A and B are shown apart, each in its own frame.
Chain A
């Protein structure tokens, strides 16, 4: 732990809290900021284990005040989902950047997004009876595409370049199929739904999404933290890692698996949110250096900050119209990335 990491985490935390308070204060149901804040700290929720049990495990909520219910059951879960998605995507991107030793790697570099996107479209267009299982199918599609990429890249072992190339191949084919499927949609509502899923959106997220993503997020983030030393050794290059006795193929596959789980968990609740997983690890690395223990910790805080801030824009900027949050992450992330690139001479060094 050092000063730069702590200030990064504290700064991110402040953004998350402020963004969260803005999110609970504004919306279709008007209440004053004071009322909203009082609802957030309503002891009937905060100190009541029964209510938390319902939130986290499901079930019937007891009677709460109207404002408390709106804040705690509609507006806050969306903030929590944003936090989970932000943390998952950034950690996943950080892992993929180490595995591929490529600064342009993101959670979706090994075909995860295109696989998920294809299954989303297939579900919406062809198998509309299965739309209830869309989140799980999307996550599953991402994982299947990842396995396919690995299979293609494998030839007596694999290498970062082979993996990235196989990812591009699978991505291109799946992307084409996905775009092709758009032509078979007659209903504009289905098109919008498809776009929301494929650009990432937090509209309508609920405690159910928190429940869905939380266990996987905790698993993936803890595994990433535990594996930070393996990631650091991977950064020394394949040859050095091997001469230090690392079973490199095994480690690489398992770490990719962790990163894919994190990405799939975020896809299941928010669709394919771009850019977070690419830009956040860069921002964090810029502040705390390349040590993965600090990097992963930094990502767990900074990812949610970007995601929550972006969702404020997505939800409130054009109110009552809600944009997919993926559009806003791109709009915030892109220029910030450009700023980093201009400012920092050695940006891009993993």
Chain B
């Protein structure tokens, strides 16, 4: 080992994991501002088979434990791609993602799905599927191949249906629901998965205001009552700033800024990342007022 240059040593996984763990212990002992992370990405380089250049390059991303983190950025900035790699849906070309300090590729598929749930941007289901049956599919990772549904499954499904507020439509077919109701039904499904970490990819896009708020309230409730760690891609930056504890702003596949909304959402960010000249007021909720037309 002694011949290795420091840079090369940095490349080894063991060392990386050690340094990450060391980081965390240091933080705890020194009481630094950085909170414990449930999910950490380090030295990530992400691309799709069809793309030549990396779509996302990111030295370090933290999803603080027990908090809500919102990923914001313009279209094509790599938010969804980053979320996919955090959810083990996209294998990074380089770098690693750690869940509770353990590299996610070391997890068994089902074990991982018991810890982390993901609601994708697009999902389709057979139209004749009932909402209740859809929610039961959320129990998939908890059940063995031959296992029937257990008491625990029933309890988790009831809780999820209650939390997402889809009790009144539980017997309806998914195909007959409005877009907002359907989204809530899908959220109930990931809630039934009963994970400590929940990733949501644009859960409010295309929903009317009422259903947007319903979705966000459900997520907030889950976070406050059950301490679930949430990372969510949101389009509306004002909404993200109101809703999240932490913001991750992305630009052109890189992390632009990271921190509490008040520190991240600035006129400078809006100009740099979103190319909008706007004033930011906190009243105390953030308000974003464009200064002139584009």
Binding site for B on A (CB under 8 A): 156, 226, 229, 232-233, 235-237, 239-240, 242-247, 289-291, 346, 349-350
B113 contacts the other chain (CB 8 A)? yes
Contact B120 A243 (CB under 8 A): yes
Residue of B87, B127, B143 near A243 (CB, 8 A) is: B87
Contact A236 B110 (CB under 8 A): no
Among residues of B, the one whose C-beta sits closest to the C-beta of A241 is B140
Q: Given A226-B146, A239-B89, A239-B120, are A244 and B137 neighbors across the interface (CB < 8 Å)?
A: yes
Interface size on B, residues (CB 8 A): 31
B109 contacts the other chain (CB 8 A)? yes
The complex places the Cα of A167 from the Cα of B141 at a distance, in Å, of 31
Contact A346 B120 (CB under 8 A): no
B128 contacts the other chain (CB 8 A)? yes
Q: Which of B37-56 contact A (CB under 8 A)?
A: 49
Contact B133 A291 (CB under 8 A): yes
Apart from A243-B89, A245-B109, A245-B112, 4 more pairs, CB < 8 Å: A237-B125, A240-B120, A291-B129, A349-B126
Among residues of B, the one whose C-beta sits closest to the C-beta of A240 is B123
Contact B137 A232 (CB under 8 A): yes
Q: Given A226-B146, A232-B137, A236-B137, are A245 and B126 neighbors across the interface (CB < 8 Å)?
A: no
Shortest distance between the CB of A184 and any CB in chain B (Å): 44
B138 contacts the other chain (CB 8 A)? yes
B114 contacts the other chain (CB 8 A)? yes
The complex places the Cα of A156 from the Cα of B48 at a distance, in Å, of 13
Residues of chain A within 8 A (CB-CB) of B180 are: none
Residue of B124, B125, B128, B141 near A244 (CB, 8 A) is: B141
Q: Given A244-B140, A290-B128, are A236 and B123 neighbors across the interface (CB < 8 Å)?
A: yes
Residues of chain B within 8 A (CB-CB) of A289 are: 126, 128-129
The complex places the Cα of A349 from the Cα of B129 at a distance, in Å, of 12
Residue of A239, A244, A291, A350 near B193 (CB, 8 A) is: A244
B78 contacts the other chain (CB 8 A)? no
Residues of chain B within 8 A (CB-CB) of A237 are: 122-125
B118 contacts the other chain (CB 8 A)? yes
B117 contacts the other chain (CB 8 A)? yes
Residues of chain A within 8 A (CB-CB) of B138 are: 244
Residues of chain B within 8 A (CB-CB) of A247 are: 109
The complex places the Cα of A243 from the Cα of B114 at a distance, in Å, of 10
Q: Which of B125-164 contact A (CB under 8 A)?
A: 125-129, 133-134, 137-138, 140-141, 143, 145-146
Contact code string B97-115 (vs A, CB < 8 Å = 1, else 0): 0000000000001111110
In the assembled complex, 7 residue pairs joining A and B whose CB atoms fall closer than 8 Å, in A order, are A237-B124, A243-B117, A243-B118, A244-B137, A244-B193, A245-B113, A291-B128
Among residues of B, the one whose C-beta sits closest to the C-beta of A227 is B145
Contact B127 A349 (CB under 8 A): yes
Residues of chain A within 8 A (CB-CB) of B134 are: 236
